[in-house]
Chain A
Amino acid sequence: MAAFRFLRESPLSARIGMAIVLINIAAAILAPVIAPHGESQVVGDVWLPMSRDFPLGTDQLGRDLLTRLIYGARNTIALAFLITALSFLMGSICGFLAATIGKWTDQVLSRLVDILMAFPTLIFALMVLSVVGTSITALVVVIALLDSTRVFRLSRAVAMDIGVLEFVEAARLRGEGTWWVMTQEILPNALPPLVAEFGLRFCFVFLFIAALSFLGLGIQPPAADWGGMVRENAGAITFGIFTPLWPAGAIAFLTVGVNLIVDWFLHVASGLKEG
């Protein structure tokens, strides 16, 4: 019931955001059901204009653009979600460990993260991909690792604040182990800021994958992916055909949606200091 009331009091902007995210998730899950054609099925001529059969026209190989967009949602969102989840797992475990154990563990992990963060992420990812080649596994590991540095910073800071409170002290004196303190005492109290961060990180990862795919180094064709679709159809724009704007717009649309929700979340969590 509390959650329901929370949702009912949400401002308009957050509702728009939620609607956008829900539409995208629905498209991702139901892709095979709602897509009018097959993922990489060639159905007509190249770059056909919008028509009844092809609501958004066709792409550079004559595939239905709407179908590609729907499948693209599936591939891109699933991958971004997987990466964000992985980066949260790594980042928050290391962050909590650094904060609860302190001493050497903290020093080593923190300095390591400092170095990783001093390096521009896109350049780092490009260099790693040049060495290991572009595969989905490499993509997942590299982006999750880079992203987990931000999660590490946040979760370490939050855990530091919580770690000095009385109930954590009490648990320690009771003789509970590090793992118990981390999962039972710190984690539940660190959740709100981490959830808001999850949204922000998701946006970041999502845009990052899109950028890499756009550069031709992310998800490889023929799998549909929004960043890759922009790249493949980029040539059309000089002929006055706006095909690449659809996938690029889809990326922007989802990011705005998630940002609207996160904004509202942060607004609520920060105690409404400023508008």
Chain B
Amino acid sequence: MVLKRIGLGLMTLLIISMLIFVGIEALPGDLAEAVLGQNALPETVASFRKELKLDLPPHARYFAWLGDFIQGDFGKSLANGRPIAELIGWRFANSLFLAGAAAAIAVPVAIILGILAAVYRNTLFDRVISMITLSAISFPEFFIAYILIALFSVQFTLFPSIANINVQMNLGEKLYAIVLPCFTLSMVVIAHMMRQTRAAIINIMASPFIEMARLKGLKRLRVTVLHAFPNALSPVINVVALNLAYLVVGVVIVEVVFVYPGLGQLLVDSVSKRDIPVVQASGLIFAATYIGLNLLADVLSILSNPRLRNPR
């Protein structure tokens, strides 16, 4: 069951890599001419084509590209000729750092809020929380981000509005620099995660065994935490992993707002510069992370659910 799912995930990744490759193959016109301009000498175009391996047949090029990619050789950037691996490595670590910090705040808060909202369903507390999360979902990330900037870095100059981090900084300084982007990301993710947790718990609360526990006279909180929550664990784990996948992608916009040196920022820059090898590489990394986390969600929910663990 688990192995089958992992195999399926790898298949998807392979197909995606093919799609990315073919998509760029299908470019109208010649990449070499597009990059060098129409006035380029034929010799320059030819040598450029050779460098990008454009003179090989497509399938050979695909496997060469994929093989290099797996070994960590992503080729060179068209814009500045630097190796892409060098550009991406540090930024990807930064993106993961930001997403990780946001997740560390968001996951516990969202689960606790979700449980509380489910326990005190339809009370004022639940309504207020629902209203706040609904608006947080409706707001574009950059709206939340700019409100936070307006409040915390312009009105009260507490935190920097530009999250610039570099290698020399220690952990404390880095964390201070990313307070606002981290907070923005957590807001959005908490809203999603909390709503789904609440729904999952409410769903379980409607089961007969919960009614039984209630009729035995057990306290509401005890029923929720000891009876409902273990059964809701599988959907909740799923929700968490899916939201982490969302987080990895959501990072793109937040990075742009706060000028954070992450992979998302690089991707957006490269798209506007049409630096295709960089777009290919960073897109594939994003896709791999996203698919990986989705895979994790499925595997964990299989493992945490005895009915799925032992299929008949």
Which A positions have Cβ atoms within 8 angstroms of B? Answer: 114-115, 118-120, 122-123, 126-133, 203, 207, 210-211, 214-217, 227, 230, 234, 237-238, 240, 242, 244-245, 248-249, 251-252, 255-256, 259, 263, 274-275
Q: Are A256 and B134 in contact (CB under 8 A)?
A: yes
- With A123-B287, A214-B256 already in contact, the answer to whether A230 and B138 are too (CB < 8 A) is no
Most buried by B among A123, A234, A238, A255: A123
Q: Are B20 and A211 in contact (CB under 8 A)?
A: no
**Residues of A close to B274: CB separation below 8 A:** 130, 133
B2 at interface, CB cutoff 8 A: no
CA distance A126 to B271 in the complex (A): 7
**Residues of B close to A210: CB separation below 8 A:** 140
- With A120-B286, A216-B272 already in contact, the answer to whether A256 and B135 are too (CB < 8 A) is yes
Q: Are A252 and B135 in contact (CB under 8 A)?
A: yes
**Residues of A close to B245: CB separation below 8 A:** 120
List 23 A-B residue pairs with CB atoms under 8 Å apart, sorted by A's residue number: A114-B12, A118-B294, A120-B248, A120-B290, A122-B249, A123-B287, A126-B279, A127-B23, A127-B279, A127-B280, A129-B271, A130-B270, A130-B271, A131-B27, A214-B140, A214-B253, A214-B256, A216-B268, A216-B272, A245-B143, A245-B150, A249-B143, A252-B143
B6 at interface, CB cutoff 8 A: no
B183 at interface, CB cutoff 8 A: no
Apart from A127-B23, A251-B143, A274-B202, 17 more pairs, CB < 8 Å? A119-B290, A120-B286, A120-B287, A122-B249, A123-B249, A126-B279, A126-B283, A130-B279, A132-B28, A216-B268, A217-B268, A217-B271, A240-B155, A248-B146, A251-B139, A252-B138, A259-B137
Total chain B interface residues with beta-carbon distance under 8 A = 52
* CB contact between B12 and one of A115, A127, A251 (< 8 Å): that residue: A115
**Residues of B close to A259: CB separation below 8 A:** 134, 137-138
Q: Are B143 and A275 in contact (CB under 8 A)?
A: no
**Residues of B close to A123: CB separation below 8 A:** 249, 252, 267, 283, 286-287, 290
CA distance A162 to B19 in the complex (A): 34
* CB contact between B138 and one of A131, A245, A255, A275 (< 8 Å): that residue: A255
CA distance A131 to B272 in the complex (A): 10
Most buried by A among B143, B150, B202, B248: B143
Closest A residue by C-beta to B153: A238
CA distance A211 to B140 in the complex (A): 7
**Residues of A close to B202: CB separation below 8 A:** 274
B218 at interface, CB cutoff 8 A: no
B121 at interface, CB cutoff 8 A: yes
Closest B residue by C-beta to A111: B15
Q: Are A234 and B146 in contact (CB under 8 A)?
A: yes
Which B positions have Cβ atoms within 8 angstroms of A? Answer: 12, 15-16, 19-20, 23-24, 26-28, 121-122, 134-135, 137-143, 146-147, 149-150, 153-155, 161, 202, 245, 248-249, 252-253, 256-257, 267-268, 270-272, 274, 276, 279-280, 283, 286-287, 290-291, 294
Q: Are A126 and B268 in contact (CB under 8 A)?
A: yes
Q: Are B256 and A215 in contact (CB under 8 A)?
A: yes
Q: Are A119 and B16 in contact (CB under 8 A)?
A: yes
**Residues of A close to B15: CB separation below 8 A:** 115
* Shortest distance between the CB of A134 and any CB in chain B (Å): 8
* Shortest distance between the CB of B40 and any CB in chain A (Å): 19
Q: Are B135 and A126 in contact (CB under 8 A)?
A: no
Most buried by A among B121, B142, B256: B142
Closest A residue by C-beta to B147: A245
* Shortest distance between the CB of B202 and any CB in chain A (Å): 6
**Residues of A close to B28: CB separation below 8 A:** 132
Closest 10 CB pairs of A and B: A248-B143, A255-B138, A130-B271, A120-B249, A252-B139, A256-B138, A130-B279, A123-B286, A120-B290, A127-B283
CA distance A196 to B116 in the complex (A): 29
Q: Are B23 and A131 in contact (CB under 8 A)?
A: yes
* CB contact between B146 and one of A130, A203, A207, A237 (< 8 Å): that residue: A237
Q: Are A128 and B23 in contact (CB under 8 A)?
A: yes
CA distance A263 to B130 in the complex (A): 12
* Shortest distance between the CB of B143 and any CB in chain A (Å): 4
Q: Are B23 and A214 in contact (CB under 8 A)?
A: no
**Residues of B close to A217: CB separation below 8 A:** 268, 271-272
Q: Are B138 and A203 in contact (CB under 8 A)?
A: yes
* Shortest distance between the CB of A65 and any CB in chain B (Å): 15
Q: Are B146 and A115 in contact (CB under 8 A)?
A: no
Q: Are A215 and B253 in contact (CB under 8 A)?
A: yes
Closest B residue by C-beta to A121: B249
CA distance A207 to B234 in the complex (A): 30
Q: Are B142 and A214 in contact (CB under 8 A)?
A: yes
CA distance A45 to B127 in the complex (A): 45
